């Protein structure tokens, strides 16, 4: 557990995101490994890939067993597909988080994407070969080279430092090669270094041409000797004089070298598998391919490095209050005017950028929300604005914002279950954000659907998905549940209120009010709506439920339906005795 | 039928002591809850019997009775609907507290008029037998009119009794062997002769 850090969760048991952090993907049914060993208690959970972290949330002990690692620590990933009974796994090779110098060295202006590198040359020790290319004149003892077994023609890797002793046996057939084989290979690597040096100094490779020019290694088109790049396919041209066995490797290295300028490896740091601590994520219910793809993209984008980008123009929602305070302060003098005009410009720019297309609007959603909020704030402070307009604007800006990025089907891993579970969790967070409190603790499913979809704004969800997500609230142990009234109206309510408790609360209220007002005044659904904040539909349903249980009686007239405490059930009248004084 | 209008008009002036449930608005709405509805039915049943007995009403014709204060509480502006009224009477018929009078013509739609048994025929039979006993009219022959409207029955409970109810009460007495219907020469029922209870 050296690399994992404990994280905080929302009420719906999703990780609390950092500033500017965005959910990208979630996959259920994963287990964690530290190195080669299973982590006890971390074998059944969900893994969240965000722009900043990989988070693990345990399905059972979520409070104590939820951890994360920062993506900035990851320098290499490796994918091992499932074999027989072993699940597919993704290994994340991590730098120790305590030494800040190493991650900085990695994040050079054009950083190597470890993901891409690992993809291209999975088994090759990337750094070693890159070092061999970038430092050609001082082949240090770490430089590796390959020698070809003369028996089985397997290409064995070897370090220069080890080559002076007796040659090791071939890894495949176990036959020791003669010393001359090793020597030849060593000479060959010197040739590669020379060629690479020539390339890196941008000298024409034309020095090694013959009269036909030479063939492109990719498309075999015979180019003019003075060309650096293939005329047909644009591939980098390599001298033909290289030993054919090393040609391939050299090309690979050069391609890597060309695309990502490597940072100098700190000397003395050895990247052997044995030295590296790594963690593994085991995907027991699939989803590893998508996770891998998304992880590669995230590692390439390196969003965690851009976290300061937006500071200054708009802050996060947390400092909303402080911003309103500063806005109220009068800006005096020319400086104030200048600041205002600069801000105006920024806003205009933001608006223009955002409306370019919908994608960028999505990206700018946060800024737009805060802009809408400032408009609302300005309106509410300005005199002469109609009250409805103010409240409408305030409400709309409230409804615009979901606390976390919207859950989309693409985000969830294999199987619809994960998607519905995530949707349910986000709904729970949404409800928890005061939506349900405003509705008096109960709201109809269609009201919630409309509100939630309005909050999503884009990529709306279908009623079917919505219903399925809501119906697993209880299974996920979220603090909400569905309830169906007898008439078929389905509502969402807080799980810790039982139906009976809600109903007896209503009945008690009616009894006390009828005592206060006298018996002749019943309550209508509107009265209940005002008292408890429930929508009229729900109020009516609750009243009818109480009626079915025999606690209320109704009075239907042209004025509408009113509900009364049920006196009919309890009223006893012995008419023979009371009217005719008979002894019965 | 001929006695009904005069009785009902006179009765509306006397004030029947309505129970407090009569001022409870839901009492005039048919309750959807079956349990509450059962209680409601039995309350209405009692109320109708008491009201009819208090005002000496033998028959209820729904077309006119729906206007009575029995079914209309003007203080709270509530009234029982006709169909609910019918349901109440239906349940009374089921319990034996009332009986539909099938008028002429098609019998289905004619269920608007009902005899209310605020005393059952058996009770009436006992009361009439006691009256015969106490007035010493055994072994005399009385016409049906004499029983209902005669001078001797002025202060009796069955004063002005509906002929149908009277006939049913007499049937009970005949079955007990305490009375016998006397027929005139042309076969019409002319009178009734009472015997001692032995």
Residue, of B183 and A242, whose pLDDT is higher? B183
Q: Are residues B155 and B93 in the same domain?
A: no
Angstrom distance (rounded) from CA A216 to CA A313: 51
CATH topology identical between A5-116+271-303 and A416-494: no
Inter-chain touch A568–B76, beta carbons under 8 Å: no
Q: DSSP H helical segments within A166-314, as ranges?
A: 179-200, 244-259, 288-301
Q: Which residues of A touch B81 (CB under 8 A)?
A: none
pLDDT tens digits, A403-442: 555 666 666 666 677 788 888 888 888 888 777 777 778 8
B110 and B32 co-located in one domain: yes
pLDDT of B139 reads 79
Tokens of A326: 């500063």
Residue A311 has pLDDT above 80, yes or no: no
Token representation of residue B31: 């309750």
Q: Is the pLDDT at A308 greater than 70, yes or no? A: no
The CA distance from B180 to the nearest CA of chain A, in Å, is 32
Mean pLDDT (whole number) for A389-395 = 60
| Residues B178, B100 share a domain | no
pLDDT higher at A559 or B44: B44
Bridge-based pairing of strands A552-557 and A23-34 is unpaired
Q: Cβ of B31 and A554 within 8 Å?
A: yes
Which sign does the torsion angle of CA B156, B159, B163, B164 carry? negative
Cβ distance A5 to A11 under 8 Å?
no
Mean pLDDT of B71-96: 87
Q: Is B54 on the interface with A (CB under 8 A)?
A: yes
State the pLDDT at residue A325. 45
Q: Please report, for chain A, the start and end positions of each structural domain, with discontinuous segments joined by +.
A: 5-116+271-303, 126-244, 312-400, 416-494, 499-565
d(CA A365, CA A404): 12
Is pLDDT of A271 > 80?
A: no
Cα A41 to Cα A30, A38, A61, A91, B153, distances in angstroms: 12, 9, 8, 19, 98
Q: Phi and psi for A128 in degrees, rounded to 5? A: -60, -45
Comparing CB atoms, the residue among B17, B36, B53 nearest residue A566 is B36
Mean pLDDT of A372-387: 65
C-alpha pair distances (Å), A21 with each of A11, A306, B139: 18, 10, 111
Chain B nearest CA to A538, separation (Å): 19
Of B36, B47, B49, the CB nearest to A568: B36
Calculate the CA dihedral of residues A201, A207, A210, A211 and round it to 10 degrees.
Answer: 110
State how many domains chain B has.
Answer: 2
To the nearest whole angstrom, how far is the Cα of B107 from the nearest Cα of chain A? 32
Q: Are residues B84 and B41 in the same domain?
A: yes
The shortest CB-CB distance from A548 to any of B26, B33, B39 is to: B33
CB contact under 8 A, B19 and A571: yes
Fold of A5-116+271-303: PH-domain like (2.30.29)
Q: What single string gives the DSSP state of each residue in A303-349?
A: GGGGTTTTTTT---GGGHHHHHHHHHSPP-HHHHHHHHHHHHHHHHH
HSE (CB half, 13 Å, CA atoms) of B153?
21
Q: Is the pLDDT of residue A520 over 60?
A: no
Which pair of structure tokens corresponds to residue A332? 């005096």
* pLDDT, position A432: 80
Q: Which residues of B touch A555 (CB under 8 A)?
A: 25-26, 28-29, 78
Which of B19, B25, B78, B97 to mutate: most A Cβ within 10 Å? B25
**Do B103 and B11 have their domain in common?**
yes
**Last-in-domain residue among B116, B148, B181:** B116
Name the CA radius of gyration of chain A, rounded.
Answer: 35
CA distance A87 to A286: 8
Higher pLDDT, A356 or A147: A147
* List of chain B residues whose C-beta atoms are within 8 Å of the C-beta of residue A568: 21, 24, 26-27, 31, 36, 39-40, 43
Handedness of CA B123, B126, B131, B137 (dihedral sign): positive
Rounded-to-integer distance, Cα A267 and Cα A131, Å: 10
Residue where a domain terminates, one of B116, B140, B165: B116
User: What ranges make up the beta strands (E) of chain B?
Assistant: 59-61, 72-73, 78-79, 98-100, 113-116, 141-142, 179-183, 189-194
Q: How far apart are CA A492 and CA A445, in angstroms?
A: 6
Confidence of residue A137 (pLDDT cuts 50, 70, 90): very low
Contact A568 B39 (CB under 8 A): yes
Q: How far apart are the CA of B188 and the nearest CA of chain A, in angstroms? A: 38
pLDDT at residue A534 greater than cutoff 80: yes
- Looking at the DSSP bridge assignments, the partners of residue A147 are A156
Residues B65 and B139 in one domain: no
Q: Give yes or no: residues B132 and B92 share one domain.
A: no
* From B39, B53, B78, residue closest to A580, measured CB to CB: B53
**Which of A145-149, A564-568, B31-35, B51-55 bottoms out in mean pLDDT, i.e. has the lowest?**
A145-149
d(CA A195, CA A242): 8
- The more confidently predicted of residues A57 and A367 is A57
The answer to whether B5 faces chain A, any CB pair under 8 Å, is: no
Reduced 3-state DSSP string for A187-203: HHHHHHHHHHHHHHCCC
Nearest-CA residue of chain A relative to B27?
A568
Q: Which residues of B touch A579 (CB under 8 A)?
A: 16-17, 50, 53-54
What distance in Å separates residue B106's CA from the closest CA in chain A? 33
Contact B32 A554 (CB under 8 A): yes
Which of A548, A566, A575 is nearest residue B46 as measured by Cβ atoms?
A575
B89-141: pLDDT as tens digits: 889 888 888 888 876 544 555 577 888 888 888 888 888 888 888 887 777 77
A166 versus B40: the higher-pLDDT residue is B40
At residue A403, the pLDDT reads: 53
- Chosen domain end from B116, B147, B169: B116
Partner residue facing A569 (CB), from B16, B25, B35: B35
CATH topology of domain A416-494: Arc Repressor Mutant, subunit A (1.10.10)
Chain A CB contacts of B24 under 8 Å are 519-520, 564, 567-568, 571
Q: What is the pLDDT of residue B72?
A: 87
Do A573 and B46 lie within an 8 Å CB cutoff? yes
As a whole number, the mean pLDDT across chain B is 78
Cα A423 from Cα A400, distance rounded (Å):
17
* Mean pLDDT of the region A35-57: 83
Closest by CA to A75, choosing from A93, A101, A49, A100, is: A93
Phi then psi for residue A551, to 5 deg, are -90, -20
- Strands B72-73, A53-58: pairing kind: unpaired
Hey, which residues 58-87 in chain B have their CB within 8 Å of chain A? Answer: 76-78
What gap in Å lies between CA A101 and CA B164, rounded to an integer? 114
Q: Exposed (0-12), middle (13-18) or buried (19+): which is A30, by Cβ within 10 Å?
A: buried
State the complex-level ipTM. Answer: 0.75
Q: Which residues contact A162 (CB under 8 A, 6 or more apart)?
A: A168
Number of neighbours of residue A19 by Cβ within 10 angstroms: 13
Whether A553 sits inside 8 A of B33 (CB atoms) is yes
Q: Give yes or no for residue A48 having a pLDDT over 80.
A: yes
Which among A480, A559, A53 is positioned nearest to A281, based on CA atoms? A53
Name the E strands within A213-274: 214-215, 222-223
What's the fold here for domain A499-565?
Arc Repressor Mutant, subunit A (1.10.10)
Which domain, by its residues, includes B71? 4-116
Query: Which of A91-105, A433-447, A456-470 bottoms out in mean pLDDT, i.e. has the lowest?
Result: A91-105
B181 SS3 class: strand
Residue B33 contacts A where some CB pair is shorter than 8 Å: yes
Q: What is the pLDDT of residues A50-85, one digit of tens each?
A: 888 888 888 888 778 888 888 887 888 888 887 777
Q: Cα(A423)–Cα(A407) distance, rounded to whole angstroms?
A: 6
- The pLDDT of B173-180, averaged and rounded, is 82
B127 and chain A in contact, CB less than 8 A:
no
Closest C-alpha to A137, from A198, A225, A223, A64: A198
Domain identity same for B8 and B106 = yes
CA distance A573 to B80: 19
Of the candidates A309, A382, A285, the residue with the CA atom closest to the CA atom of residue A45: A285
Cβ-based interface (< 8 Å): residues of A facing B = 519-520, 522, 547-548, 550, 553-557, 562, 564, 566-569, 571, 573, 575-576, 578-580
- Provide φ and ψ at A74, rounded to 5°: -80, 125
Count of CB pairs separated by less than 8 Å, A with B: 83
The residue in chain A having the minimum alpha-carbon distance to the alpha carbon of residue B40 is A568
Contacts of A547 in chain B (CB under 8 A): 31-33, 36
Same domain, B94 and B125: no
Q: Are residues B111 and B13 in the same domain?
A: yes
**Partners of residue B53 in chain A, C-beta under 8 Å:** 579-580
Beta strands in B30-187 (DSSP E): 59-61, 72-73, 78-79, 98-100, 113-116, 141-142, 179-183
Percent share of chain A, pLDDT over 70: 63
Q: What is the pTM of this model?
A: 0.53
**What CATH number corresponds to the domain at position B144?**
1.10.10.10
Taking Cα atoms as reference points, which of B107, B117, B130 lies closest to residue B60?
B117
Q: Which residue has the higher pLDDT, A24 or A373?
A: A24
Nearest alpha carbon to residue B35 among A568, A150, A377: A568
pLDDT of residue A111: 40
Distances (CA, A) of A371 to A205, A347, A359, A391: 57, 8, 18, 16
pLDDT score for A319:
44
Looking at the complex, does the CB of residue B38 fall below 8 Å from at least one CB of chain A?
A: no
Per-residue pLDDT, A120: 42
pLDDT band at A351 (very low <50, low <70, confident <90, very high): confident
> What confidence category does residue A320 fall into, taking pLDDT thresholds of 50, 70 and 90?
very low
Q: How far apart are CA B190 and CA B188, in angstroms?
A: 6
Query: Which residue blocks in A412-498 are alpha helix, DSSP H?
Result: 416-430, 436-438, 445-456, 463-471
A491 — pLDDT class (breaks 50, 70, 90)? confident
- Answer yes or no: do B97 and B127 share one domain: no
Report how far residue B106's alpha carbon sits from residue B104's, in angstroms, rounded to the nearest whole number. Answer: 7
Task: Identify whether residues B143 and B111 lie together within a single domain.
Answer: no
| Residues from chain A contacting residue B25 (CB–CB below 8 Å) | 520, 522, 555, 557, 562, 564
B50: closest CA of chain A, how far (Å): 6
Instruction: Report the gap between the CA of A527 and the closest CA in chain B (Å).
Output: 17
């Amino acid at each position: 557990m050296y690399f994992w850090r404990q994280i905080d969760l929302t009420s719906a048991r999703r990780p609390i995101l950092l500033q500017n952090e965005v959910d990208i993907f979630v996959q259920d049914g994963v287990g964690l490994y530290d190195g080669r060993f299973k982590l006890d208690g971390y074998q059944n959970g969900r893994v969240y890939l965000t722009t900043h972290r990989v988070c693990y949330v345990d399905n059972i002990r979520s409070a104590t067993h939820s951890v994360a690692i920062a993506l900035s620590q990851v320098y290499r990933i490796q994918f091992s597909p499932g074999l027989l009974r072993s699940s597919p796994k993704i290994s994340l090779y991590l730098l120790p988080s305590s030494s800040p110098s190493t991650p900085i060295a990695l994040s050079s202006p054009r950083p190597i994407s470890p993901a891409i590198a690992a993809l291209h040359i999975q088994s090759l020790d990337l750094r070693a070969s890159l070092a061999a290319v970038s430092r050609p004149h001082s082949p240090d003892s770490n430089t590796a080279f390959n020698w070809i077994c003369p028996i089985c023609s397997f290409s064995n890797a070897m370090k220069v430092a080890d080559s002076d002793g007796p040659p090791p046996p071939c890894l495949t057939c176990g036959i020791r090669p003669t010393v001359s084989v090793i020597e030849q290979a060593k000479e060959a690597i010197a040739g590669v270094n020379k060629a690479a040096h020539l390339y890196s100094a941008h000298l024409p490779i034309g020095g090694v041409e013959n009269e036909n020019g030479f063939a492109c290694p990719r498309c075999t088109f015979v180019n003019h000797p003075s060309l650096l790049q293939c005329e047909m396919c644009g591939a980098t041209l390599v001298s033909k004089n290289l030993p054919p066995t090393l040609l391939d490797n050299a090309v690979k290295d050069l391609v890597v070298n060309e695309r990502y300028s490597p940072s100098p490896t700190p000397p003395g740091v050895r990247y052997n598998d044995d030295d590296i601590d790594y963690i593994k994520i085991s995907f027991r219910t699939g989803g590893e391919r998508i996770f891998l793809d998304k992880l590669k993209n995230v590692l390439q984008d390196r969003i965690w490095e851009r976290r300061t980008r937006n500071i200054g123009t708009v802050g996060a929602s947390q400092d909303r209050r402080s911003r309103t305070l500063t806005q109220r302060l009068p800006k005096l003098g020319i400086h104030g005017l200048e600041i205002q005009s600069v801000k105006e410009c920024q806003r205009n720019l933001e608006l223009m950028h955002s409306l370019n297309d919908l994608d960028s609007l999505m990206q700018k959603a946060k800024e737009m929300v805060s802009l809408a909020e400032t408009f609302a704030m300005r309106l509410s402070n300005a005199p002469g604005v109609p009250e409805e307009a103010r409240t409408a604007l305030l409400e709309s800006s409230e409804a615009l914002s979901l606390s976390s990025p919207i859950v989309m089907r693409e985000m969830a891993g294999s199987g619809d279950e994960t998607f519905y579970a995530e949707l349910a969790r986000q709904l729970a967070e949404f409800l928890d954000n005061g939506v349900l409190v405003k509705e008096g603790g109960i709201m109809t499913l269609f009201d919630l659907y409309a509100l939630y979809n309005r909050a999503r704004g884009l990529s709306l969800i279908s009623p079917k998905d919505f219903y399925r997500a809501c119906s697993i609230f209880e299974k996920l142990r979220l603090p909400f549940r569905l309830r169906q009234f007898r008439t078929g109206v389905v509502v969402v309510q807080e799980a810790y209120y039982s139906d009976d408790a809600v109903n007896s609360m209503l009945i008690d209220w009616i009894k006390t009010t009828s005592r206060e007002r006298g018996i002749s005044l019943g309550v209508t659904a509107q009265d209940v709506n005002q008292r408890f904040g429930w929508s009229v539909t729900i109020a009516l349903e609750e009243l009818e439920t109480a009626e079915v249980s025999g606690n209320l009686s109704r009075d239907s007239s042209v004025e509408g339906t009113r509900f009364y405490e049920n006196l009919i059930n309890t009223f006893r009248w012995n008419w023979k005795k009371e009217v005719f004084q008979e002894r019965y | 039928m001929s006695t009904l209008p005069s009785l009902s008009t006179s009765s509306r002036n006397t004030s029947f002591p309505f129970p407090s449930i009569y001022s409870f608005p839901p009492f005039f709405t048919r309750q959807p809850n079956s349990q509450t509805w059962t209680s409601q039915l039995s309350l209405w049943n009692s109320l109708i019997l008491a009201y009819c007995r208090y005002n000496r009403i033998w028959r209820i014709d729904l077309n006119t009775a729906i206007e009575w204060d029995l079914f209309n509480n003007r203080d709270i502006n509530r009234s029982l609907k006709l169909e609910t009224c019918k349901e109440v009477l239906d349940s009374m018929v089921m319990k034996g507290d009332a009986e539909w009078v099938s008028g002429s013509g098609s019998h289905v739609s004619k269920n608007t008029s009902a005899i209310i048994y605020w005393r059952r025929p058996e009770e009436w039979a006992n009361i009439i037998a006691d009256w015969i006993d106490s007035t010493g009219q055994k072994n005399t022959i009385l016409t049906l009119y004499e029983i209902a409207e005669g001078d001797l029955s002025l202060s009796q409970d069955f004063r002005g009794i509906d002929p149908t109810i009277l006939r049913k009460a007499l049937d009970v007495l005949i079955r007990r062997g305490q009375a016998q219907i006397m027929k005139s020469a042309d076969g019409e029922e002319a009178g009734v002769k009472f015997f001692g209870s032995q």
